[in-house]
Structures are given as C-alpha cells and as structure tokens.
Amino acid sequence: MKRRDCLKHRRDVFDLTLMLRAPCNYQCYYCCARGVPKNRFTRLTRESIAQYLALIDSFDAPLKIMRVNSYGEPSLLPGIWDLLGALATRGFVMLATNLSFPLEKIMQALPAASTWLLLTSLHPETEEHLGEFLRKCQLLVSSGYPVAVHTMVDDTKLAHTEQQVEYMRRVGLDCFVSPVQGRDGDRRFPYDLGEDTKLYLQERIDELHPQLLLRHRNLAFTGLRCGAGYSRFVVRDSCICPCMNSDRLLGWLDGEFRPFSEPMPCAAFHAESQCLPDEFLVRSRCYCMGDHRLPVGRGALAVDIERFAELKDAVVNPSLERLRQMRLNDWNDQLAGLGRTAIDVAPFGLSIWPYLELLKRHAKVETVLLDREERPALDGIHQASFKAYRENRNPRQLLVLSTVHAAEQARAFVQSLPDSGLAPLCCFDLPASPPEWNARHA
Ligand code: SF4
C-alpha cells in the first residue's frame, strides 16, 4: 500500500528524525561523518523535501516534532533553509548544528515559536572562537530560541570543562555534559576514556544515557516497550526505520511504508546512539531524541540506573537471547527456500564472510559481488565486481543482503540490473553480522 492511498495514521505525538548526510567545516576526531564520500551527501531537492513532507502529513497528531540531525553540519547542505521553513509550518523543529552560520539565516527560515530546540555542541574548533559562539547562543536565547549546549568531555578537555559549564550556566545558557562518543583509531569512546574523566562524568553528569554507556558496554533495551516505529521514526536516505539503532526497515519515502500499530518491545541488538525506551523518557533525558527541558538531577538518576540494572537482568538479556534465536530461525527458513541451488550473493553494508558460513548450508555460493575489481576465487567462490556483474548478468538466482544503513545503495543496484527473468531475492534489514555469529562472539 503506497502512502498516498492510506488514511492518516492517528497518534498523540509524531516524532521524526531526519538523518541527513552533510559536509562539515570542522574536523572533529570523533565525528561519525568523517570519510562520508561527497556522492553520499543528501540532496535536498524540491522532490526530496516533498517526500519528507508527505510522510509528515500522513500522520494526524496534535504535536509533531521534526528533528533535523546529520552526519556533518546540516546548514552546509543546499536547500536546508527551504526544508526548515517547510517543517516549521507543520510543527516544532529541532536542529542539531555547530552554529557556524550567520544567525539571520535561521531567524528567517525558522521562527523561534516553531523551534523545539537548537542543539549545539562545544567541539574542539568551537573553542577556538568560544567568545563568538557564546555570543551567538545568547543572542538566540534572547530572541526566544530554546538552545542547549552539549559539552563533550574527553581526557584533554577535562581540566577546563568545569569552568566552561559554570560560565554558561552563569550567563543563563542551558548546557549539559556528556562523554565523547565515537572512535579514534583503536580507542572507542566513552569506554576508553581515562579513569579521571570517567570519574568526573559519573560524579557530575545529569544525563542518563551517557551514564548507561559508561556502565553497560553492550547497552541494549531489547524487550522494553518503545514508541519507535509507532510514533517515532528515523529517515536515512529514503529508508524509514523505527530508530537510529534499529535494524528494521518499515518502508521507503517513495514506496510502501508500514508503521507499527502500537508501541512494540524494542528489537534492537544495541542502543549506543541517542535513544532511550519510553519507560525511561518520562524521568530522564538523552543526548538527541530526549526532551532537554525535563528537570533532571543526580538523585533521580540513581533510581533510573538501579531500575535499568533490574530490567537488564529480568527483561533485556533474556529478550536478546530470544531475539537472536528468532532471527536465526527466520533466516534459516528463508534460506531453506533456496533448495541447495547455485546462487550469487551481493552484500551491502555487511561483512559477507560470517554470512557465508550460514549460506553454504542451504545453497552453493558461486559468486560474491564486491565493490571493487575482480579478484581471484577464494575458498572456491568467485569474486566479481558489481559493474562486471551488471554488464554480464548470468541466469543464476541473485541474493541481495543489506543492512538498513546500506539499503538505499542495495535498492539502487537492484534497480540498475538488466532483466534476467529471475527477480533477485532481497533482504534489506539484516544485522551487520548474523545472529549466530553474534551469539558465538558475544
Ligand atoms: S533502540 Fe531505543 S529507540 Fe530504538 S526501539 Fe530500542 S528502546 Fe526504542
């Protein structure tokens, strides 16, 4: 069923995160956008903006929150101010930005009354012109914009974070502290922060989510009920997913879309980016998708940490196990349909080698397609490039395996193939490694 044929979905709240891919004028070492090739930047055309708006308009909700987030700095994307202006006519807008643009731009596109939050961060390069940054924040606040400054702490910033936070609070700026998240070479943050930094954060931080990251390395909320996929959604490229951590694909901006009919137990294997299930959101907040205006404090936090520890044993861990087993069974059922025939496999966004172990039980894998030139056969399996396959498609069954993160590229590849009379079998929402592999290496 295409969205244009549907009746509106009724919800009390509709909360949408648009994850854009943008260039950036900063070079933060922890940034998840580093290395995004130019051809993957989001193109905000009249058509793509119309698709976002059609999704928003297909929901009937008294409160709509649209969060514009990005890998990179969204204000550098051509078309961003048109998008923000259109969103502002439909509800409240949250924008995550480094605020490096002239403020008139935002004041013209996005009125303060339609702004849910301007979420900005104290990046290393922001500190080089801290005075100007703080003046901008104060001007926005005095013009009625809700602003929150996310102060990220790593080992090098530990010494001066306290002064910065104190100063911002003194001049009336809402700010919150959280650990740097991301990678730097072999180091994974926040886990590999120094002990002093961890101690500082654990003693002072008022945010639940980064606290949990420090305490629970493999954070997951599996099995806890959540509105993601029912009233909260994330759009990446043209894929519509429940949340940033979910492997599920609910549909496409330009095609079918099936939201959940009620809040569902969380089915994500991990929860390392910007989420908390609804059970926690009432009392606490998180970096990106939470409500930064909720009052929080260390006293309230202690109760939540305890509650989470209880739920982890009683609900999350057993649910994780069940989910792994279920996914493995589904996967085996799907593959059993291959009937031990010869197949070619095209992987997107996942490492094919652990998947091959499972595939070989159900089919004879002749060729694996790779995003590079032809390679010699490995373990009896021929390796061909996507380009060569497209130009010389054989009549064997093609199996397309993709994570939701790469689903857009996988779909574009399938659409570019010449007709061979045999439609490819596509799985667009697989985990980056198969459940069996995860279980063995947990
Ligand atoms: S990972 Fe978080 S937001 Fe996503 S479904 Fe689970 S609890 Fe909800």
- Taken in order of first residue, the domains within the chain and their CATH numbers are 3-315 (3.20.20), 338-441 (3.40.50)
Rounded distance from Cα 277 to ligand 1 centre (Å): 5
Contact (Cβ atoms closer than 8 angstroms) between residue 193 and residue 156: no
Nearest in space to 72 (alpha carbons), one of 119, 20, 109: 20
Which pLDDT score, from 0 to 100, does residue 272 have?
78
In the numeric block, the tokens 């999704």 are attached to 55
Cβ count near 322 (within 10 Å): 13
Q: Number of helices (H) and strands (E), helices first, in the chain?
A: 15, 21
The reply to whether ligand 1 has any atom less than 6 angstroms from the CB of 434 is no
The minimum-distance atom of ligand 1 relative to the CA of 245 is: 1
Residue 83, token pair as written in the block: 């998008």
CA 288 to chain centre: 10
Pocket test of ligand 1: the residue of 216, 225, 226 to mutate, having most ligand atoms within 8 Å of its CB, is 226
The minimum-distance atom of ligand 1 relative to the CA of 227 is: 8
Rounded to the nearest 10°, the torsion over CA 26, 27, 29, 31 is 60
Which pLDDT score, from 0 to 100, does residue 4 have?
47
CA 5/CA 11 separation, integer angstroms: 18
Which pLDDT score, from 0 to 100, does residue 260 have?
97
Which pLDDT score, from 0 to 100, does residue 286 have?
63
Which pLDDT score, from 0 to 100, does residue 3 have?
47
The answer to whether the peptide bond before residue 23 is cis (omega within 30 degrees of 0) is no
The reply to whether ligand 1 has any atom less than 6 angstroms from the CB of 239 is no
Rounded distance from Cα 29 to ligand 1 centre (Å): 27
In the numeric block, the tokens 């969380």 are attached to 266
**pLDDT 10s digits, 251-308:** 999 999 999 999 999 998 888 776 777 777 666 666 556 666 666 666 767 777 888 8
Which pLDDT score, from 0 to 100, does residue 283 have?
60
The reply to whether ligand 1 has any atom less than 6 angstroms from the CB of 246 is yes
Contact (Cβ atoms closer than 8 angstroms) between residue 80 and residue 74: yes
The minimum-distance atom of ligand 1 relative to the CA of 271 is: 1
Q: Whose CA is nearest to atom 7 of ligand 1?
A: 277
Q: Whose CA is nearest to atom 5 of ligand 1?
A: 266
Contact (Cβ atoms closer than 8 angstroms) between residue 196 and residue 162: no
Pocket test of ligand 1: the residue of 230, 246, 315, 323 to mutate, having most ligand atoms within 8 Å of its CB, is 246
Rounded distance from Cα 300 to ligand 1 centre (Å): 21
**pLDDT 10s digits, 12-22:** 999 999 999 99
The reply to whether ligand 1 has any atom less than 6 angstroms from the CB of 335 is no
Pocket test of ligand 1: the residue of 67, 221, 249 to mutate, having most ligand atoms within 8 Å of its CB, is 221
The reply to whether ligand 1 has any atom less than 6 angstroms from the CB of 268 is yes
Contact (Cβ atoms closer than 8 angstroms) between residue 412 and residue 387: no
The reply to whether ligand 1 has any atom less than 6 angstroms from the CB of 244 is no
The minimum-distance atom of ligand 1 relative to the CA of 246 is: 4
The minimum-distance atom of ligand 1 relative to the CA of 277 is: 7
Q: Whose CA is nearest to atom 4 of ligand 1?
A: 243
The reply to whether ligand 1 has any atom less than 6 angstroms from the CB of 275 is yes
Q: Which residues contact 431 (CB under 8 A, 6 or more apart)?
A: 247, 269, 327, 350, 403, 438
The reply to whether ligand 1 has any atom less than 6 angstroms from the CB of 320 is no
Alpha-carbon torsion 414, 336, 369, 430, what sign? positive
Which pLDDT score, from 0 to 100, does residue 289 have?
60
Which pLDDT score, from 0 to 100, does residue 16 have?
95
The reply to whether ligand 1 has any atom less than 6 angstroms from the CB of 245 is yes
Rounded distance from Cα 272 to ligand 1 centre (Å): 10
Contact (Cβ atoms closer than 8 angstroms) between residue 90 and residue 41: no
In sequence order, what are the beta bridge partners of 257? Answer: 251
For the entire predicted model, the pTM comes to 0.88
The reply to whether ligand 1 has any atom less than 6 angstroms from the CB of 221 is yes
Rounded distance from Cα 201 to ligand 1 centre (Å): 24
Contact (Cβ atoms closer than 8 angstroms) between residue 110 and residue 85: yes
Contact (Cβ atoms closer than 8 angstroms) between residue 274 and residue 284: no
* Sheet arrangement for strand 115-121: 174-179, 147-153, 115-121, 92-97, 63-71, 13-21, 232-236, 239-241, 251-252
Residue 304, token pair as written in the block: 């939540």
Contact (Cβ atoms closer than 8 angstroms) between residue 62 and residue 14: no
Going along 47-201, which residue ranges are E strands?
59-60, 63-71, 92-97, 115-121, 147-153, 174-179, 182-184, 187-189
The reply to whether ligand 1 has any atom less than 6 angstroms from the CB of 241 is no
Residuewise pLDDT in 10s, the chain (442 residues): 444 445 689 999 999 999 999 999 888 888 777 777 888 899 999 999 999 999 999 999 999 999 999 989 999 999 999 999 999 999 999 999 999 999 999 999 999 999 999 999 888 888 888 899 999 999 999 999 999 998 888 898 888 888 898 899 888 898 888 888 888 888 888 889 999 998 888 877 777 777 788 888 888 899 999 999 999 999 999 999 999 888 899 999 999 999 999 999 999 888 877 677 777 766 666 655 666 666 666 676 777 788 888 999 999 999 998 988 888 888 888 888 888 899 999 999 998 888 888 888 889 999 999 877 667 767 788 999 999 999 888 889 999 999 998 999 999 999 999 887 889 999 998 888 776 666 665 5
* Angle at 216 (CA atoms; ends 211, 221), nearest 5 degrees: 95
Contact (Cβ atoms closer than 8 angstroms) between residue 395 and residue 421: yes
Which pLDDT score, from 0 to 100, does residue 10 have?
96
Rounded distance from Cα 441 to ligand 1 centre (Å): 23
Contact (Cβ atoms closer than 8 angstroms) between residue 93 and residue 41: no
CA 165/CA 162 separation, integer angstroms: 5
